[in-house]
């Protein structure tokens, strides 16, 4: 379990993480979601004791990370940037990690196998593709067989096969009862992987709920209606108690499916030019939620 309490990090007068509190429970995948620059990596670095919180605290199973005598056996982490020396082989990278925490050397071969890079284990990691580097990073995270696993943007740079592999791995780790905390800026990916979501923007928690609840709340759908008799149709549907919003020449109707809307309009003898079910994607929901908190918004054209 990871517990953050009023965790804050400021750099000069810029606040990267602004008093966030959340709990990451064992036995499920918790997605840590936010646009780039929202404070995800800073938070994760504070979890690992790499950055010192300006105020507040974060603990893993009740202890500060730095207080663990063998932290790799308690928390495994994949860091966002590749924390690797390009001149060292994958096997040697895992060997020093194992040595640092008194982990048996046999575990090196186990995790190489687990992530499927045994064949290239003796190559220098500078020659690795992004995907292989990411697999090595995950091997490093799992070397201590830790009850808590923290993955910062694990699918970055992976091909679809690799993405599915990470997704399955995260779910398997959680199914074993481990605490799994995965950051991403991709809502669609988190919807498939995470049981629970902590959404942040501009260093604040915007949502902390189950993925199912988040989807139900934010991924709304509506029926788009276009008609030459725009006003009459709007009046008719409103009289039936439906939520109707006019956007230029179209009406957005909530509360009834396209079939029902079509029948109502047809029975009144009004004309329709368009009747479409519009599902707003999770990505849209995420964008809407975080719209005010995007650090580097592109200029709209």
Partner 1 sequence: MTAVGTHAWTRVETAPPPGATAALRAEWVKFWTVRSTPWSLTAMFLLGAGLTTLVCALSAGALARGDVGEPVGAFVTWGIVFAQVTAVVLGALVVTSEYGTGMIRATLAATPRRGAVLAAKAAVLTSTLFVAGTLTALAGYLGGNWFLDREGIGLALTDDGVLRSMVGSGLYLAGLGLFAAAVGLLVRHTAAALAIVLGLVFVVGNLVMVLPGAWGEWATKLMPGNAGSAIATPQSFNPLLLDPWVGFAVFVAEVAVVLAVAAAVFARRDA
**Measured from the CB atom, is 71 or 131 closer to partner 1?**
71
Nearest to partner 1 of 82, 226 (CB atom): 82
Residues that bind partner 1 (CB under 8 A): 1, 25-28, 45, 48-52, 65-66, 68-73, 77, 79, 81-89, 92, 95-97, 99-104, 140, 145, 147, 174, 176-179, 195, 210, 212
C-alpha to C-alpha distance for 195 and 252, rounded to whole angstroms: 31
Number of other residues whose CB lies within 10 A of the CB of residue 190: 26
CB-neighbour burial class of residue 29 (10 A; exposed 0-12, middle 13-18, buried 19+): buried
Q: Provide the minimum distance between the beta carbon of 126 and partner 1 in the complex, in angstroms, as a whole number.
A: 9
Instruction: Give the number of other CB atoms < 10 A from CB of residue 21.
Output: 15
> Of 284, 279, 280, 274, which Cα lies nearest the Cα of 224?
274
Q: Please tell me the distance from the alpha carbon of residue 206 to that of residue 83, in angstroms, as a whole number.
A: 30
Whose Cβ is closer to partner 1: residue 62's or residue 248's? 62
- State which residue, 35 or 137, has the beta carbon closest to partner 1: 137
Q: Which is nearer to partner 1, 1 or 287 (CB)?
A: 1
* Residue 11 C-beta: closest distance to partner 1, Å: 9
CA 48 from centroid of its chain's CA atoms: 18
Q: Dig out the tokens for 232 from the structure.
A: 């009459």
To partner 1, the closest distance from the beta carbon of 149 in angstroms equals 10
Pick from 141, 212, 152: nearest CA to 182 = 152
Residue 127 CB, shortest distance to partner 1, in Å, is 14
CB of 254 to partner 1, least distance (A): 26
Q: Where are the alpha helices (DSSP H) in 74-121?
A: 90-100, 106-115
Whichever of 63 and 238 has its CB closer to partner 1, that residue is 63
The distance of closest approach from Cβ of residue 250 to partner 1 in the complex, given in angstroms and rounded to an integer, is 36
Q: Which lies closer to partner 1 via its Cβ, residue 108 or residue 264?
A: 108
DSSP-derived pairing of the beta strands 2-11 and 55-60: antiparallel
Nearest CA to 142 out of 91, 75, 86, 58 is that of 75
How far from the centroid of its chain's Cα atoms is residue 226's Cα? 37
CB of 30 to partner 1, least distance (A): 10
Under DSSP, the state recorded for 63 is B
């Amino acid at each position: 379990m990871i517990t953050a309490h009023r965790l804050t990090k400021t750099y000069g007068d810029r606040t990267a993480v602004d008093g966030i509190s959340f709990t990451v429970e064992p036995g499920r995948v918790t997605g840590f979601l936010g646009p780039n620059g929202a404070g995800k990596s800073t938070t994760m670095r504070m979890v690992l004791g790499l950055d010192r919180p300006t105020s507040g605290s974060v603990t893993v199973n009740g202890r500060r990370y730095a207080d663990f005598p063998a932290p790799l056996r308690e928390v495994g982490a994949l860091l966002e940037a590749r924390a690797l020396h390009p001149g060292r082989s994958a096997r040697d990278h895992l060997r020093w990690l194992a040595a640092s925490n008194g982990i048996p050397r046999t575990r090196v071969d186990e995790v190489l196998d687990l992530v499927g890079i045994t064949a290239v284990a003796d190559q220098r990691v500078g020659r690795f593709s992004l995907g292989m580097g990411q697999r090595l990073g995950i091997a490093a995270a799992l070397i201590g067989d830790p009850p808590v696993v923290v993955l910062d943007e694990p699918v970055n740079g992976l091909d679809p096969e690799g993405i599915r592999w990470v997704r399955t791995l995260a779910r398997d780790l959680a199914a074993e009862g481990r605490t799994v905390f995965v950051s991403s800026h991709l809502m669609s990916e988190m919807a498939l992987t995470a049981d629970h979501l902590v959404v942040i923007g501009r260093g604040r928690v915007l949502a902390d709920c189950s993925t199912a609840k988040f989807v139900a709340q934010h991924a709304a759908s509506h029926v788009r209606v276009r008609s030459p008799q725009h006003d009459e149709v709007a009046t008719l549907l409103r009289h039936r108690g439906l939520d109707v919003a006019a956007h230029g020449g179209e009406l957005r109707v909530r509360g009834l499916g396209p079939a029902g809307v079509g029948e109502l309009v047809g029975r009144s003898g009004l004309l329709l030019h368009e009747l479409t079910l519009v599902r707003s994607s999770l990505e849209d929901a995420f964008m809407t939620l975080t719209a005010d908190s995007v650090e580097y918004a592109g200029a709209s054209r």
